Structure 1
Amino acid sequence: MSPCGAANGRGWRNSLRSNFEMVPESLTLTTVLSLAWLLWLVMVGVGLILERRPPAATLAWLLALLFLPYIGAVIYFLFGPRRLRRRRLRYSRARNRLVQSAHDHLRQDHALPPGFPAADFEQQLATLMEHSGQGVPVAARDIRLLETGDGCFEAIEADIGAATHHVHLEYYIWQPDGIGTRLRDLLIEKARAGVQVRLLLDAIGSNSVKRSFLRPLEEAGGSTAWFNPIRLPRLGPNHINFRTHRKVVVIDGRIGFIGGINISDSHSSFSGSQDAWRDTHLRIDGEPVHRLQFIFLEDWYFATEKTPLEPAFFPEFTEPPTRRWLQVVESGPDTNRYAIAKFFFAAIAGARRQLLLTTPYFVPNEALMMALVTAASRGVEVRILVPKQSDEPTRPY
């Protein structure tokens, strides 16, 4: 290279270096961060659209990320749908493991059983749920509606007191108050008598329960577990809102309880006050309890990675079937089948004469609201009962 060319090369490099030095470092960093943020926003937006979520939910996420860039990102990180896929995968593995283990103990036929009501509407709803992975309806020996917390607690305590093999409980809210302590002490008594006791609590709903409260039960031989506990070193997306809101009790595989009543003085007019929460529960006696048992064991395996399975968990019922048909339907963030939502929509859309609905939280999505409005417009008597005062703010309709 000639001296002139070398000089020109050095001059070009010196000029380029001086031009970069003229650009403020903060401006360069801001530009890079802005471009990275824009790219991330586009990727998240495309992902949300491809997930085919409800339009309102997709729009809400996009607006939050656009106009609340930092807060929106944190909320998306904690509550967004991405990590939920991994939780669903782990949950599906728990289900598959349990299905393989319990295959010989569960009803495997997919056709509606003989004696089920011949009405087309009932058969259509039952078939819809079976196609949504919920199993077919089965006949119960007895079904009792429990309309008060005190009546519910009395029935649960009586059946636990008569248990001979196992007691399985899963609750969203368990308070260490009068009711919670009384029921815990009964479980301690049964565990000492040799009955298998397993208690699964949600880590958020039952955060008032401390290890010291559960220790006497564990020392008596009972087993306890937390559903999806929150640990700071593992804090990540969807650890917070991946919860179990179930209130399930299974006793000897024959008696089951399910409904909306948690373990708390708030549900008792005796232990709490006359302003006790009003909710509804079911006591089930018979083969439908097998489905509740499966759901509990599935959640227990998810929480502990252990599958306790014995023939006594799914006892045979030799009594002739009754006309009390029951189909247990489950749903939650671990599945995208939305079985309960599908059932509500189909039932509301197919109503002919009367539609009675009671719920503590009336927050229907657009499809369910349209089904209700359409049913009323068709001349169906539609009545909706909601609390005058709720523990959560709801939108007026």
Structure 2
Amino acid sequence: MSTTTIDTLRFATAGSVDDGKSTLVGRLLHDSKSVLTDQLEAVQRVSADRGQDAPDLALLTDGLRAEREQGITIDVAYRYFATPRRRFILADTPGHVQYTRNMVTGASTAELAIVLIDARNGVVEQTLRHAAVAALLRVPHVVLAVNKMDLVGYEQAVFERIVEEFAGHAAELGLPSFTPVPVSALVGDNVVDRSAHMDWYEGPALLEFLENVPVGADPSDAPARFPVQYVIRDGEVRWYAGQLVSGSLRVGDRVTVHPSGETSEITGISVLGTEAEAAYAPQSVSLRLADQRDVSRGDMITAGVDAPLLTQDVRAAVCHLADRPLRVGDRVLLRHTTRTVKAIVKDLGGATALLANDLGRITLRTAEPLTLDDYAVSRRTGAFLVIDPADGATLTAGMADLA
């Protein structure tokens, strides 16, 4: 396959404490030959200093000294690797319940999530929490990796019992489907190569699945959404610059500017300073309109019949990210694409406050109208952040629910 046609899969890993997630990621990097010689030598040296006979592959992802000393993963670590079939961006997220917000960060742009389970322990509370986050963020593909199969004698019955239990919870959480894979990260079974110890398993090894899973729908097939980032004045002509986050636009298209509702026609498209007849997501472009409209940063230009919702009442599922609680009545800023508006927290799904790592629901009233899509329709124009107006800190990540 030509390198020009190789696509990229963004995926995230999540698992409860000591489920072997860092070892799984390390094994994936090691066995796919994505580790530099000096990195492997460093891991071998640290492992030997600890008295370990074999390299501790978890050290390939637990890169911070504090993490190594504590034996835990405490932040999102991004890894980049490639095989002849595909490029990968991996977000390795921590497993502790107090770092749920880190998983939200890692999975927010992921097209696939690997939820890891220790075969000895089965489904635990954190497993369900990670599955809930994957469902909340509408991650298109989920892999249930049942790890440490070597420690349960590679028993098919153990694997099937865990899969059945997880399936029952997944349906309740709104997770439509998942792909189960039995693995042993420590030994390498079914991580990169098929396992000789589990001939009863007829599915793909983990990497084989990652290489072949369909990467998300083409964003250019979605309704056209163009948040204006800034205005370029060229004499009497104005160009509106930004990223086309979904859909496509062509010279001659009729468009609507939100929130004003004014309509116009595209008379020019510039891509990297070159005039073009069309633009496709996710290109960064500049647009010229036929009429001198009052368009500014934060406005959104759309085309087609699938119009977004213009509203000041925002309902959403959320994950609270900050240590500072969020309470009913708080005055905040809401940042959606390139637009930031003042807002007030009207309701928290019956709760009086959201604490760090809480998953919940929110209703906000904004001072100015927002142009929103349902998060189920668009992860780009359906997502927003709640900001502390005092210091600009991010408080909460929201996924709009307009149903």
TM-score by structure 1 length?
0.25
Of Structure 1 and Structure 2, which has the larger fraction of its residues in strand? 2
Q: Looking at both structures, which has the greater relative contact order when contacts are Cα pairs under 8 Å and sequence separation is at least 6?
A: 1
Computing the radius of gyration from Cα coordinates, the structure with the larger value is 1
More helix by share: 1
Q: TM-score, normalised by structure 2?
A: 0.25
